[in-house]
Amino acid sequence: MNIRHDSYKHQGQRAQLINLLASNKITDKNVLLAMASVPRHLFLSKDFENRAYDDVALPIDEEQTISQPYTVAFQSQALEIKPGDKVLEIGTGSGYQAAILAQMGAEVYSIERIEKLYKMAKINLQPYLKNINLFLSDGTMGWPDNAPFDKIIVTAAAPKLPEILLEQLKPGGIAIIPIGSMKIQKMVLIKKSVDNKISQKELGDFRFVPLIGKDGW
């Protein structure tokens, strides 16, 4: 059996990537520590392993992508994760983002709509499954049985503010969602006040694969 593992070479490449992120306004130590410890190459096929620590999005199966490390760091930092936070992720993909959130101490609920990716993520996430729950479903409907959530992260491009997801956000909660066209989106930071008022802030341009579902594309 070909068991893949971490190595000094990969750890060195990861350290360089962390330096790059830190020089690019990623200041949350918890984010940097988590990204320094989770081996991104183990979430990619062998074909892309040698590019795992380049700051780029890379292909996974089913024409989907593992997000760029900077984007993972940016969204994780925006969520202000505290240990024990209950976090809903829409778009499990490879499972890498879920692993980072779990490593930061969150209890993660992650939804993927493509069965092949859901199964692959379950394998990739073996070391983290104590803190991660996976669900094969249309994430635009959220996960009502486990709502409400302290934080919500969407890792695919939504055409509009997904109202159903915001209903599943706790008062005082934070959501980070790329919203826009299929080609380019604004990263939108949403805060729900303790008296349930929603405020939004745009945090720059990003590019994601589309969020496909009842309340998506």
CB-wise, 1 or 123, nearer to ligand SAM?
Answer: 123
Please state the closest distance from residue 91 (CB atom) to ligand SAM, in A: 3
- Residue 23 sits at φ, ψ, to 5 deg, of -85, 0
Please state the closest distance from residue 48 (CB atom) to ligand SAM, in A: 12
Please state the closest distance from residue 30 (CB atom) to ligand SAM, in A: 17
Q: In whole angstroms, what is the distance from residue 69 CA to residue 71 CA?
A: 5
Residues 6+ apart with CB under 8 A from 2: none
Catalytic residue among 45, 67, 76, 110: 67
Active site residue 37: no
Please state the closest distance from residue 1 (CB atom) to ligand SAM, in A: 24
CB-wise, 18 or 111, nearer to ligand SAM?
Answer: 111
* Residues 117, 137, 169, 24, Cα dihedral to 10°: 20
Strand, helix or coil at 94?
A: coil
Residue 1 C-beta-side C-alpha neighbours within 13 Å: 3
Helices and strands per DSSP (H, E), number in the chain: 6, 9
Contact positions vs ligand SAM (CB under 6 A): 64-67, 90-91, 93-94, 96-97, 111-114, 117, 138-140, 155-156, 208-209, 211-213, 216
Tell me the C-alpha to C-alpha distance, in Å, between residue 51 and each of 6, 42, 55, 66, 81.
14, 12, 9, 12, 28
CB-wise, 95 or 173, nearer to ligand SAM?
Answer: 95
Please state the closest distance from residue 197 (CB atom) to ligand SAM, in A: 27
CB-wise, 67 or 103, nearer to ligand SAM?
Answer: 67
Which own/partner contact pairs does 18-22 have at CB distance under 8 Å and 24+ positions apart?
20/55, 21/55, 21/69, 21/70, 21/73
Of the candidates 104, 115, 214, which has an alpha carbon nearest to the alpha carbon of residue 153? 104
Q: Could you list the active site residues?
A: 67
